[in-house]
Amino acid sequence: MNRPVDESRYFQDVEAAARLLTSQPGAPPDVAIVLGSGLGDFAGGLTDAVTTPYAEIPNWPASAVVGHAGKLVLGSLAGKRVAALAGRAHFYEGHDLRTVTFATRVLGLMGVKTLILTNAAGGINLSFKPGTLMVIDDHINLLGSNPLVGANEDRFGARFPDMTNVYAKRLRESADEAAAARGLRVAHGVYVAVHGPSYETPAEIRFLRTIGADAVGMSTVPEALVARHMGMEVLGISCITNPAAGVLPEPLHHEEVMEVARRVKGEFSSLLEGVIERL
């Protein structure tokens, strides 16, 4: 975990991946979307799509989680050039946060200005039912680390980047407009990132509610921090797949999370399309 990182080597690795992807038809994308659990099919909705399996991109980390395909699709949607990432590396898989955010760095170097991060999350806010789509207004980082730890790479961004507006107001409003236009309901709230992979205890959920979190998950925050470090605009949307631990007497299951994510994917995709249309 605490081994020194060779910053310039990391930069070169990111550059090599960005170079390969930038040479493909459809690049550079206007917007990139990281697809959370169950949403991978969204990439299938892009036209003129060019698919690159992660294994074919130099230095790109693989994700082993069931439900994540592991491919980058460059294509078009609503007149915009879109990069859709089906599958992401997670901190709980044992990757360090540099590796977790490698893809975000590559997208930044490719010139992507807007990054949409999606995920599945547990509902801490008691008004959230499974299937609720929550626009992330802000986040709390409880990962115990930060992807910007280590020597700063000035070619990426500043040493102490501001995090006052991680999730762009303009994009959050645009999500509301897209939802209204498409007859969808969205909630808003604060996302807290925890390390995982175990789900939380009921006491932890009470703690997270007390500190102001509405939804809990194991991703998104590292990518958002790195995207802001590079000056990208970020939108985050959570699919609330389950009431968080202790809200109901039943235990949590990954299968339940996947099932709800799959059930809502049509609405989620429609919302994303509406957001992209408005960019």
Catalytically annotated residues: 37, 68, 90, 92-93, 120, 218-219, 242, 254
CB of 255 to ligand HPA, least distance (A): 12
Rg value, the chain, Cα: 18
Site for ligand HPA (CB under 6 A): how many residues? 13
Residues 6 or more apart whose CB falls under 8 angstroms from that of 248 comprise none
Of 109 and 216, the one with the shorter C-beta distance to ligand HPA is: 216
The alpha carbon torsion through 8, 2, 57, 64 (nearest 10 deg) reads: -170
Position with the least CB separation from ligand HPA: 122
Nearest to 222 by CA among 108, 99, 94: 99
CB of 116 to ligand HPA, least distance (A): 18
Of 70 and 123, the one with the shorter C-beta distance to ligand HPA is: 123
Nearest to 274 by CA among 169, 184, 167, 166: 184
Give the residue, chosen from 61, 147, 189, 217, that forms a contact with ligand HPA under the rule CB under 6 A.
217
Of 68 and 229, the one with the shorter C-beta distance to ligand HPA is: 68
Is 73 one of the binding residues for ligand HPA (CB under 6 A)? no
Cis amide linkage into residue 53, ω under 30° from 0: no
If residue 254 lies in a helix (H) or strand (E), which one and from where to where? Answer: helix 254-277
Give the residue, chosen from 21, 74, 85, 120, that forms a contact with ligand HPA under the rule CB under 6 A.
120
CB of 265 to ligand HPA, least distance (A): 15
Q: Evaluate the CA torsion angle 94, 70, 41, 167 in order and state its sign.
A: positive
Of 114 and 119, the one with the shorter C-beta distance to ligand HPA is: 119
CA distance 243 to 250: 10
Q: Which chain residues interact with ligand HPA by CB under 6 A?
A: 120-122, 199-200, 216-218, 241-242, 244, 252, 257
